[in-house]
Each structure stands twice: as C-alpha cells, then as structure tokens.
Chain A
C-alpha cells in the first residue's frame, strides 16, 4: 500500500524565514504526489502536485517542492514565510497506480505557525 509520512506535526518559523515541511512517501511504483493547504474553517486547496517530468514543482503562493526518488521525499519549501501562510499542510499520494482508484492517501498534516 502507498503511504506518506509527514515529519513534524507542528512547525514554527519567523516571518521572512525559510519554510520547510517534510514529507516522505512509501510506494512500490512511481508515485503521484500532492501538497494541499487547509486554512482555518476552510476546505483543502491544492498547492502543487508531482506526476512525471521535472522533479522541482512550483506551486501557488511561492511554494515549491522537489521530488527525490533516492530519498523517497517530497518536501515543501518557501523561501520567505508570510503571516498568511499560517495553516495546516497535508502531503498526499494518489492510490491510482496501485489500486486504480483516484483516492488520495493523506499524511497526518503539519500545522505551520508564523511568528511576527
């Protein structure tokens, strides 16, 4: 089965500092990977996704993630944090390649806090 593990349930950074949210995946086939953000009292919004091709993926709001097969990782980064980035972030893998189903398997989430 495919799975993702997010390291750190809570990350706190200062405004203007680098944001690094970690995600490692487990998959016996090349994975499709996603990062979603959930702002308070809202649904999930796609930040970016990796399917095939370029391993550095750029998303919305200045976020990017790099797919590293050798490290089975898909970490999310942003060079300079803004107060508006405070939210919960979820890494997910599509089960399609194993199960033929479009369902997403989510990590436990990382709550990002930005300190002024």
Chain B
C-alpha cells in the first residue's frame, strides 16, 4: 500500500459525458501528479500540482483539467469524453524537495471505460 488513494476504482461512462477522478496523496506529500496509461500511448504524464499550484503540464488535452485543493487532495476532470479516453489514470504523490530525485508513490489507479 503506497498511501495514495484513488476513487473510484472503475468508471464506465458514455461518449460526451464528464467524469471526475479523485486522488488523496500520502500524508505530508505536497506534489500530486496525474498519469494516463493506455495500450497505444503507454504511460504519459498529464499534469503536476504542488501545494495547490500547477507546476508542470504534459500531454494533457484541453478537455481535461485538474486542481489541487487546500487539503492537498486533487481531482482530474475529463469532459466531452471520447472512446480514446478509455485508459487507466494514475495519481502519484511526492514530497518534492530534492530536485528531481524524489520517489513518486503511485495510487492503484482509476480504470475509465468510455462506451
């Protein structure tokens, strides 16, 4: 158990819909990262938040957005869903104090299926 929790575990929805994925980081971790894992793209970094502020952005679609709340939990919002958005979405957290060497601890993921 990494200490990172993600809900829900599974999500099945239809094209055009909007969903919210939730992540609670390990106690004491200030940074939250979102990754997407799909068969064709592999593991791709989406976005990082540090203590409530966006820190880095990766290959995140404009239909996707995220935020980190004062209690440090984070939400990833996916809208106008397409079939190709079906994937496993991971949240990770780290202390983020060691300039790139911190270990990122991953949650169990949310499996999104778009029908």
Query: Any chain A CB within 8 A of the CB of B2?
Result: yes
Which residues from 84 to 103 on chain B have a C-beta closer than 8 Å to any C-beta of chain A?
90, 92, 94, 96, 99-103
**Distance of A105 Cα from B45 Cα, bound (Å):** 7
B109 touches A102 (CB 8 A): no
Candidates B4, B43, B55, B105; contact of A102 at CB < 8 Å: B55
Chain A's closest residue to B99 (CB) is A96
Contact status of A43 and B90, CB under 8 A, knowing A101-B55, A106-B42, A109-B43:
yes
**Distance of A99 Cα from B58 Cα, bound (Å):** 11
Least distance between A91 CB and chain B CB atoms (Å): 11
A32 touches B90 (CB 8 A): no
**Distance of A77 Cα from B87 Cα, bound (Å):** 30
Residues of A within 8 A of B45 (CB): 103-105
Chain B's closest residue to A6 (CB) is B42
Binary CB contact string for chain B from 35 to 50 against chain A (1 if under 8 A, 0 otherwise): 1000000111100100
A45 touches B43 (CB 8 A): no
**Distance of A104 Cα from B104 Cα, bound (Å):** 9
**Distance of A51 Cα from B101 Cα, bound (Å):** 6
**Distance of A90 Cα from B100 Cα, bound (Å):** 18
A101 touches B42 (CB 8 A): no
Binary CB contact string for chain A from 18 to 51 against chain B (1 if under 8 A, 0 otherwise): 0000000000000010001000011111100101
Q: List chain A positions with a Cβ less than 8 A from chain B.
A: 32, 36, 41-46, 49, 51, 90, 94-97, 99-109
Give the top 9 A-B pairs by smallest Cβ distance, nearest first. A96-B100, A101-B56, A43-B106, A106-B43, A103-B45, A44-B106, A51-B101, A94-B100, A43-B108
9 contacts between A and B (CB under 8 A): A51-B101, A100-B56, A101-B48, A102-B31, A102-B94, A103-B58, A104-B35, A106-B43, A109-B42
